[in-house]
Chains A and B, each alone.
Chain A
């Protein structure tokens, strides 16, 4: 199992304004699979992803990723855990605008204090090559198309060889052709590289690329 959640709850606000984003979610994510979490907006799918990825602390229940109970980690430990075990692709604001694509890809390693040597650069290049953005590495994000930006983001997420790769509406800002390319890359990284991928989306078309689909409604898996 790459990750699992048990009886996960999360509440926002108090009193009348209280929102139960998660009402006891149990979920297992098998290793090497591409899972899609679907649901309408407000169903709690983003909250579930945030909790699974250690971006937010759950209100109750346990999350285990790669054998580690995330509830037992403090903020620093959680950050370092993310750095080492989790990769992210977001809908937008994915890349730092003042760094080149190549610099963006190796950023997670740099944050961990790793020296950027030739081996790292070679791996970055290989990933970029696989994703078809190898010739864009010297460009800044503003000079890349939306699809290229997302593929650079995938390369960045894969560079640390994470246990889990989370993609939050990765095709939200893309047209259908580019979406298909990005989704194909995600599927291939699961099939060919054995990468565990979790994607949150509200698009049914996008979900068809996944190996299995989990649907959420009102904070529960249905």
Chain B
């Protein structure tokens, strides 16, 4: 049998290419996840302990990460130890450089002594005194800051100017900040300061309340474990997608083997005729599967290592702040990936090979047993499918009522398994219905496509998996997004509010705001300067009947009943001690009014009142604010910066709600695209599967095609026939997948979206789904290109003389 095994491997190895590619991609996926995990781990290890390397003890919150130390106590503790202690932490503060507002700026301490200084200098020098600062190189790069620049940190009374004297590298997750100043300077913003650890040399002494002391190694290990757990849960997520890709691979491999073995059934029968035992035949075929598995898995492991290291390098080049270190070779992952690939191959080929056992030696002697025998769909299979469907649907129903995610997953899995088992009955029918829409041109293609129901079903199943999940993700994300949008619309009704509490806004300023690129609409808001009890600074009291022209919530927040004043407490910081329902006296000049406080967010430091209320306070209202609606696609940071430049000279302030929109948009976008990208791998494997099924079918139908060509089918007609066949398969899989995916998304929405956001309504992103279907059609056409070319190349005479 050895010669037979080697000969068949030689003859048939090329037909295993698609199966091998499927395994390779799956294994590579697993190994890439391994390399990335290892890279992330080592990246996080780098520099983690640097700030504490000279410490004897590290003092940090006892209940970290759920509790923090009290900054006051930590500051006192650090002062007590003087030169023998250095605290790490940061304050998030507004900052501006040459009139520009910087994005999210964190300020941390830098020690003046060599012992405690852990930042590495890239250029310039370290700060020596108050008024000097160093900037992290990546932050400097992003914000275009150079040595010598002046940066104003903080706002109002707490604002301080510092000069940038150097740039540093500071890769230590617990202590990293965008800028560093000396400890005495940092204490000027002590109210904003969060301190997570103190490195101590010598005796610790009395600890601040809620703190614990550890060795530096112990501290680093604690932080590392925490971060690693987060990296690991990310790896598990990625592995989930790898699992999906591998499942699709199983379908593709199983299909490849059933087709190949069906084509060789007569060879096996002949072997049995001339004296091979069943066991010998099966062992020989199984060895073939193992050879394919070993080859493809090792290729996959190699490709995975290459891709993984490439990705680490790419991430380091594109996002230098991301913690990606030099990944070790993840031996365990490599072995694991290899083993998974081999096991997947053996498992997927198990059933098709078992069918070979049943071939009787007589089959070799029968003349031309029709190829592609219809496999009867067993009653057992149908019963099982029905059972899975019923149980799955029941579980989904219960899941929706009880909001149980576990039940939802179980039900979803069960329903999907039921659909897959129903495939041989369901899919050919759907193909026929779809094919009928194509008229007579598609008839032959339809007949070919449904010829072997099981093959058709398995081929479409692989694509079905990817499309169903992609649809569920797209629909879920669209629903989530619309719900969150509505919520943000309430929290940030005004994109950008420019408020000038003291001086009225001039017409000139309004015009300049309107001319700023990115401003779609700007309305002046009339009001008066008022004094309000409990507030040191004057406040603009405004009324805005025109708010609905610019507000994202339709101006609901600006419709205030007479006798009330609505304020945004966040805009006043800690100064405002008013609570909703309090009565407060508002005074404009010598007129006054008792008003009841209502709250809201998102329009800056102004009190909104009814027009009647304003009329009792002043006879001559003047514009004190400009409320702006940004045009879609405007860059929030840039627009905010531009408007800030207009507002700052006249003493007005800017409230930028657009940034929240953007960061949320970006986050959702990242989630959606990552999920789609990862599912894309499964879809690509499925398309390789379709191309493969078609390619192998083309081989087995070579004589039929030759006959059709002899009877007058042109090459173009033959190619079109095969293209239609592929498109039919992919379209049916896509439509079915879209349907099931929307169903799953609906269940998911009922199960956990309504729980989190009670006012969410389900959104079906028809456009995106149409794009998915369109891509499926294109991909189907693409999958048909090679098989069709090969089929059309054969001349009728050559095809007819094939055996």
| Residue ranges of A at the interface with B (Cβ–Cβ < 8 Å) | 46-47, 50, 53, 55-56, 75-76, 79-80, 82-84, 88, 90, 92-94, 96-99, 107-108, 110-112, 142, 156, 168, 173
Would A55 and B795 be within 8 Å (CB), given that A93-B704, A110-B440 are in contact?
Answer: yes
Check B368–A98 contact: CB distance below 8 A: no
**Interface-facing stretch out of B68-76, B534-542, B664-672, B708-716:** B708-716
Check A56–B440 contact: CB distance below 8 A: no
Q: Which residue of A lies closest to B709 (CB)?
A: A79
A135–B798 CA distance with the chains assembled, in angstroms? 35
Check B715–A173 contact: CB distance below 8 A: no
Check B715–A75 contact: CB distance below 8 A: yes
Check B715–A50 contact: CB distance below 8 A: no
Check B714–A173 contact: CB distance below 8 A: no
Q: Does B202 contact A (CB under 8 A)?
A: no
Of B443, B711, B716, most A-chain CB atoms within 10 Å: B711
Q: Does B367 contact A (CB under 8 A)?
A: yes
Would A76 and B704 be within 8 Å (CB), given that A55-B797, A92-B368 are in contact?
Answer: no
A-B contact pairs, 18 of them (CB 8 A): A46-B801, A55-B800, A75-B715, A79-B715, A80-B714, A83-B711, A90-B707, A90-B800, A92-B367, A93-B707, A96-B707, A97-B372, A98-B451, A107-B708, A108-B712, A111-B711, A111-B717, A173-B367
**Total residues of chain B contacting the partner, CB 8 A:** 29
Check B796–A93 contact: CB distance below 8 A: no
Check B712–A79 contact: CB distance below 8 A: yes
Would A55 and B717 be within 8 Å (CB), given that A79-B709, A83-B711 are in contact?
Answer: no
Chain B 347-370 residues near chain A, CB threshold 8 A? 367-368, 370
Which secondary structure dominates where chain B touches chain A? helix
Q: Does B447 contact A (CB under 8 A)?
A: yes
Chain B 697-755 residues near chain A, CB threshold 8 A? 703-704, 707-717
Q: Does B115 contact A (CB under 8 A)?
A: no
Q: Does B448 contact A (CB under 8 A)?
A: yes
A55–B795 CA distance with the chains assembled, in angstroms? 7
Would A53 and B710 be within 8 Å (CB), given that A93-B703, A97-B370 are in contact?
Answer: yes
A98–B445 CA distance with the chains assembled, in angstroms? 11
A218–B524 CA distance with the chains assembled, in angstroms? 102
Q: Which residue of B lies closest to A140 (CB)?
A: B370
- Chain A residues in 8 Å Cβ range of B451: 97-98
Check A111–B448 contact: CB distance below 8 A: no
A168–B707 CA distance with the chains assembled, in angstroms? 12
Given A88-B710, A90-B800, output 18 extra A-B contacts at Cβ < 8 Å.
Answer: A46-B801, A47-B797, A56-B798, A76-B714, A79-B713, A79-B715, A80-B712, A82-B710, A90-B707, A92-B368, A93-B707, A97-B372, A108-B711, A108-B712, A111-B708, A111-B711, A111-B717, A168-B800
- Shortest CB-to-CB span from A186 to chain B, Å, is 18
- Shortest CB-to-CB span from B801 to chain A, Å, is 7
A46–B717 CA distance with the chains assembled, in angstroms? 26
- Chain B residues in 8 Å Cβ range of A90: 707, 800
Task: Encode B357-391 as 1/0 by CB contact (under 8 A) with A.
Answer: 00000000001101010000000000000000000
- Chain A residues in 8 Å Cβ range of B370: 97, 142
- Shortest CB-to-CB span from B451 to chain A, Å, is 5
